[in-house]
Amino acid sequence: MVACNVRLVTKRNISKVTKEGKMGKDKTIFVCSSCGYESAKWLGKCPACNEWNSFYEEKIIKENKNSAEKGKKNATPKMLKEVEGKEKVRTSTGIGELDRVLGGGLVRGSLVLLGGEPGIGKSTLILQLCNKMSGEGKVLYVSGEESAEQIKIRADRLNINNEDIMFLGETDIDLIQENILQMCPKLVIIDSIQTMYSEDISSAAGTVSQVREITSRIMRVCKSNDITTIIIGHVTKEGNIAGPRVLEHMVDTVLYLEGERYFSYRILRSVKNRFGSTNEVGMFEMQNEGMVEIANPSSILISEREDNPAGSIVVASMEGTRPLLIELQALTTPTVFGMPRRTANGIDYNRLTLLVAVLEKKAGLNLSSQDIYLNVVSGIRLIEPAVDLGIVLVCASSFKNYSIPKDTLVIGEVGLTGEVRAVNLIDKRLKEAEKLGFKTCIIPKSNKKLLKEKYKLDIIGVSNVIEAMKAVGLK
């Protein structure tokens, strides 16, 4: 085993005694646990992220001045043209969908953040990755949440029995650093970042200062030794990484594993990638043998759709460079409350209420006395505005109890005046629809004028929601 050629530096033995021989007085600040905003006094509401009751008290520990000055002596500017640009070496993970999201594989020496809700499948996916990557060298799996026995049970379920996978159950960053430098593995897994702590920071594990300090130290050690590192982090109910948002700025790549816990499908989404495209997605299905890749997700997502039901429609959403055909379902019922209820699953609630208002104003549908429930089938979350027209038509379909033909696909963004606006990559969406056997596509009129290829589809261009409703028989 070859040890890394880096000297481990910690602040454990730094004396807190002042020059006069007396203990210095600790200063404190108040830090927002949601975004990392710092304040000299406690605030009820964070002025940066608008969260309530998110501030907690934290001690300030002064840095060693001599160490800081020593580091500054070697900092000299260079001319940009004199800097040698080296192409980063990528290593395939052995998991096609993961390679797709990463842009071709893991970049050696990169720092990757993987976020997701507890129980969504992060540890399962990472353990499968460790098994695939073990052929490149030693893999160190550091866990602060699960014991070695628990990891072993999951590995047996996944049929993983690899001698190159090393396990370390530890939360102290000093001990973790020592093991990394002694072992010098090709891949390090930190599961999870919220459980790790440094004795140099007085606050509890998972706080802003702890998470920031731990990430910074791991980054320095791993990048200086060309060690690829994956950090696992839990997300809040809003879908953000728990702890400071600055963590996302420190790492090279940020991945989110999304999906409903009670559904089998999972989407791995890239929201930041310094070495590839952003907003790329990979599709998996959670099974007993682990996370199974889905090469053609559109055919699976619409395979269980019933024949011509009212309140059902298929939309085409671009997730990265991949078109996904997904079924939307809507249910409208007379409200029994004074205020009608709006519920959205997989779609932003505010987007639903906005589009319902457009439908009332421009199409003349009286939805003010209707409860409206909207659902994206299979638990997938859609954020692209190209599904707007589908939301409008599926709500109208349920309200009028009218079935839109099963072989009809709808694409388009809807504005506040009821206009249907153009979307990007229209040809990729139409090719996917043609491949899956759709006959009719409702698209923005401006997109139809710019089509580059001819299709066997009956393509209908519309400029507003009224024309779209007439095209599917709702008017």
Give the residue, 156 or 56, on which the prediction is more confident.
Answer: 156
Highest mean pLDDT out of 42-51, 202-211, 304-313, 357-366: 357-366
Residues contacting residue 138 through CB under 8 Å, at least 6 positions apart: 1, 164, 166, 183, 184, 185, 186, 187
pLDDT of res. 74: 61
pLDDT of res. 67: 41
Q: Are residues 311 and 259 part of one domain?
A: no
- Look at residue 10 and tell me if it is in a domain: no
Q: Are residues 249 and 128 part of one domain?
A: yes
Q: Are residues 353 and 247 part of one domain?
A: no
CATH of the domain at 347: 3.30.230.10
d(CA 112, CA 126) in angstroms, rounded, equals 12
Predicted confidence (pLDDT) per residue in 109-143, tens digit: 999 999 888 888 899 999 999 999 888 889 999 99
Residue holding tokens 């249907």?
A: 420
Is 411 buried (19+), middle (13-18) or exposed (0-12) by CB count in 10 A? buried
Q: Are residues 272 and 241 part of one domain?
A: yes
3-state secondary structure of 254: strand
Q: Which residues are 190's β-sheet partners?
A: 142, 231
Q: Are residues 357 and 272 part of one domain?
A: no
Cα 458 from chain centre: 36
d(CA 306, CA 29) in angstroms, rounded, equals 58
Q: Are residues 417 and 433 part of one domain?
A: yes
Q: Are residues 135 and 104 part of one domain?
A: yes
d(CA 400, CA 474) in angstroms, rounded, equals 8
Domain end position, chosen among 272, 295, 318: 295
**Number of domain units in the chain:** 3
Task: Give the model's confidence band at 21: pLDDT under 50 very low, under 70 low, under 90 confident, else very high.
Answer: very low
- Look at residue 370 and tell me if it is in a domain: yes
Helix, strand, coil share of the chain (percent; to 5): 30, 30, 45
- Look at residue 446 and tell me if it is in a domain: yes
Q: Are residues 306 and 290 part of one domain?
A: no
Supply 29's token pair.
Answer: 């600040």
Q: Are residues 392 and 291 part of one domain?
A: no
Highest mean pLDDT out of 39-53, 132-146, 250-264: 132-146
Q: Are residues 398 and 252 part of one domain?
A: no
Q: Are residues 311 and 285 part of one domain?
A: no
Residue 292's closest CA among 301, 282, 302?
A: 282
Domain end position, chosen among 262, 295, 328: 295
- Look at residue 422 and tell me if it is in a domain: yes
Residues of the domain holding 106: 87-295
Domain end position, chosen among 295, 321, 346: 295
Provide the b/e sequence for 435-450 (b: ≥16 CB within 10 Å).
ebebebbbbbbbbeee
- Look at residue 78 and tell me if it is in a domain: no
- Look at residue 7 and tell me if it is in a domain: no
d(CA 40, CA 307) in angstroms, rounded, equals 62
Q: What DSSP assignment string belongs to 418-444?
A: SBEE--S-HHHHHHHHHHTT--EEEEE
- Look at residue 79 and tell me if it is in a domain: no
Task: Give the model's confidence band at 381: pLDDT under 50 very low, under 70 low, under 90 confident, else very high.
Answer: confident
- Look at residue 80 and tell me if it is in a domain: no
107-to-141, 392, 404, 422 alpha-carbon distances in Å: 18, 43, 47, 36
CATH of the domain at 275: 3.40.50.300
Instruction: Out of 10-19, 67-76, 389-398, pick the least confident.
Output: 10-19
Q: Are residues 326 and 235 part of one domain?
A: no
| pTM tops 0.85 | no
Helices (H), 113-253: 122-133, 148-157, 173-183, 208-224, 246-250
Q: Percentage of residues in the chain with pLDDT exceeding 90?
A: 51
d(CA 458, CA 438) in angstroms, rounded, equals 9
pLDDT of res. 227: 94
Stretch 269-279: mean pLDDT, rounded?
A: 86
Q: Which amino acid is at 277?
A: S
Please give the backbone phi and psi of residue 452, each rounded to the nearest 5 degrees, phi first.
-90, -20
| Mean pLDDT for the chain overall | 85
pLDDT of res. 25: 53
Task: Give the model's confidence band at 1: pLDDT under 50 very low, under 70 low, under 90 confident, else very high.
Answer: low
Please give the backbone phi and psi of residue 277, each rounded to the nearest 5 degrees, phi first.
-75, 150
Task: Give the model's confidence band at 319: pLDDT under 50 very low, under 70 low, under 90 confident, else very high.
Answer: confident
